[in-house]
A and B are shown apart, each in its own frame.
Chain A
């Protein structure tokens, strides 16, 4: 149990305080509303409670019970056993934000490791200690760009191939109607060049995704140049696993790199907690929100780490802070750091190529099926769109009957794309899995 006091101790403590009962401690609470009767279920023992949880968990059929081809921003990857073994250390997961550096060097240096790994992966100069997820990281990029131009540029160009949830969150955060969000009503098929006409001298930021929501990979060099010609900032939302293989976004001029860090060793967990990656160039460090760990020395001459540039943050600047963010994704950033350091240089390239190879095999096989057509001829990473001979939910029902978690129904977010399924393939999918998917899709096309 979690309450320590014996009845004798409780009595002694009340006496020391000088009150007669626990109820006496709550005299300041309005009597009419004091001690409400709560309609909550009775307490269970740990055994019973865990059994109830097991029953609930068992009611789910997950990406490990089914063969998973669902992605759309959250991906089924293998998580090496070492990752969770570190996360289970109470010294990490039951610590608070490292405000007292003398007794928090573990968390601080782990964040410093994380910042180093993210800068290596993205090619950027500096990474913060994390944002909540891929969506809020983009929203923070919008805030940062707005602040960078002191509100004088109010136009934000969003690619239609930016994750629909990210665009929704940017809209929610951009409550101010003077902010213009443009570009994302373009045809989903549009290429990056189609964004160039939206860029003008009022533009603060252009945001694209890499690989984009549909899995496509473009060289954004020309777009990056157009953004910079207009004096605006360029943000690229990445899938970090893809960066094991693909050119880092600094090579086409990204000023801000955001990303959903979930693929880096974080379980799907029905949508969270995940990890918001945020990295930028040196010159924007002070405009960036979120915590930062820096290197210094202690009074014994030892190298040590500490939260730095805190003058940007809410607990110091209050209403003038760069963001209100406080608690972020500390433990998840640690998980990704363990993952990146373990798979390392060779492993990240390997897993990235495996995803690429298997996805291309799947696309080739499906593209040959009568009634199915690959939607795009643009190079892609590990996710691709297929035009189907029937509504996607009907096909997915058939797949589910055969133990397959089918792809994402794009018609939900893009009315122009009914009957379009987006299929994600990772290292978790064997050739047999893919062949089964192809066979089951073939059954639908033959109906």
Chain B
């Protein structure tokens, strides 16, 4: 059932790939600097293709089924995205080429910057950050630099609601900030009293996820932002949940000062089994000068009457926090997001959110009578239920998740947000049909029955997956982290 490791199928002397013979006069190799052995595997092409193809078949993916992982926005990834990113003109452009030779790439980045500014209501944007957490780091460093530039460096406190993503506190700490956790109130909003108590002269900012990880739009969002601004702080928006806001409200219009997008969530670039992502950061006018450089801009205006396009190039913001990454960011992800946005256009962008929210509320309506919903009101693109029943105390959210695999569904996010017991966080996305949503709801309802009638079915689940539940303690204790090719005498 399980697939051997590369090091186990390696055969000494087997050749996988041949390069052309050298066509220049030889030069002696550098003395004393040449390695004696290179313990890489020895395979041929069919070995490699079969190994990785068989591995791929052990994965669940969006292409194989429904993936309602909360806060991860596992929407369908259009195939044309992949075609576009592989166009030779994009795939083989070197990042340091003279700008005159890469006007196509630069025009694409410029347009993408403009669209992301428009969708979020921001004055400036950087495409450099590599992922959501990297965008957060960029954003918090910008907030820090802003306060320092105003000679107000004592502001070192970042407020983070208890419903926030784990990356938020880690990011703030990494940026040298103090983290204070804020409670949520009984409706899942930021607790205004708790916020007021922290609004002082050390407040650097608030990291707000809105809608929050309960999938709820904060009903006091304008008041929250006003309070932070009045205290001299800035508001960071965690854009992981932007799929709930496209064409519905622009975070910048609400007063959010900084926000990162996840192109790999909202704009359909694939998750790749854990990256690469892309985390552009949009900022309000007073922060534009602090953005990481370089940024794409028009450096010579075109002339429409003479059919002369503008010349795109790079500029460096005057008070930039510096680079956060080599070169210009994950260009390949920008291409995918660009064509996705181009195919949706003005009307389609709003429909993304309309249907994402419709799907979430429909599923919520179907599950409400079977699973307890701790904060029960109209949700945005996701919602949280409790994966437990008082009458079957042994059953936990994890057991429900594992049993879902037997019904060929990917489980929701488990145990997050932390403020809900046995949380199951469900985000269906807009690309799922009514039939898929019904099948998933039916499975969850059936599992609830099983939990009461035959709890062992859940406890021992999954039954029909390539492997069963893993011994995670053994993995952490014995720490086998690589496999070496058996050494053969050279």
Contacts and interface: CB of A to CB of B under 8 A. Distances in A.
B319 interface: no
Nearest to A61: B101
A16 interface: yes
Most buried by A among B59, B78, B277: B59
Nearest to B461: A102
Nearest to B466: A105
Contacts of A126: 481-482
A342 B341 contact: no
Contact of B327 (A5, A74, A324): A74
A36 B247 contact: yes
B193 interface: no
A165 B470 contact: no
B302 interface: no
Contacts of A45: 343
Interface in A154-200: 163, 165-166, 168-169, 171-173, 175-176
Contacts of A84: 86
| Count class of interface residues, chain B | 35 or more
Interface stretch (B47-55, B196-204, B280-288, B450-458): B47-55
A32 to B, nearest CB: 8
B74 to A, nearest CB: 6
Judged by DSSP, the binding face of B is loop
Interface residues of A, number: 197
B272 A93 contact: yes
7 contacts: A38-B247, A49-B343, A56-B104, A112-B482, A169-B322, A315-B167, A332-B275
A175 B104 contact: no
B365 A94 contact: no
Contact of B326 (A65, A165, A393): A165
Contacts of B80: 46, 49-50
A431 to B, nearest CB: 4
Interface in B22-77: 22-27, 29-30, 32-35, 38-43, 45, 48-49, 51-53, 55-64, 67, 69, 72, 74-77
Interface in A50-69: 50, 52-66, 68
Given A26-B248, A127-B482, A110 B52 contact: yes
* Top 6 A-B residue pairs of the complex, sorted by shortest distance between their CB atoms: A43-B345, A57-B89, A271-B327, A90-B63, A331-B272, A271-B95
Interface string B306-331: 00000000000000011111111111
Contact of A53 (B34, B87, B217, B361): B87
Nearest to A88: B82
B170 interface: yes
A434 B24 contact: yes
Contact of A13 (B55, B292, B434): B434
B480 interface: yes
Interface string A8-23: 0110111011110010
A62 to B, nearest CB: 4
A153 interface: no
A74 B322 contact: no
B298 to A, nearest CB: 15
A150 interface: no
A103 B59 contact: yes
Given A294-B475, A308-B479, A329 B276 contact: yes
Residue of A18, A342, A358 with most partner-chain B CB within 10 A: A342
B393 interface: no
Nearest to A301: B468
A379 to B, nearest CB: 4
A127 B14 CA distance: 26
A228 to B, nearest CB: 20
A134 B119 CA distance: 32
Interface stretch (A201-209, A240-248, A368-376): A240-248
B32 to A, nearest CB: 6
B325 to A, nearest CB: 6
A129 interface: yes
A33 B326 contact: no
Contact of A341 (B51, B83, B130, B378): B51
A321 B170 contact: yes
Given A16-B362, A169-B326, A334-B52, 14 more contacts: A40-B115, A43-B344, A104-B273, A135-B326, A165-B327, A246-B34, A273-B333, A295-B475, A299-B470, A323-B170, A327-B271, A334-B272, A341-B48, A357-B22
B470 A304 contact: yes
Nearest to B433: A4
B123 interface: no
A130 B289 CA distance: 31
A166 B377 CA distance: 48
A40 B104 CA distance: 20
Given A33-B253, A269-B85, A86 B410 contact: no
B124 interface: no
Interface in B85-111: 85-98, 101-105, 107-108
A135 B326 CA distance: 6
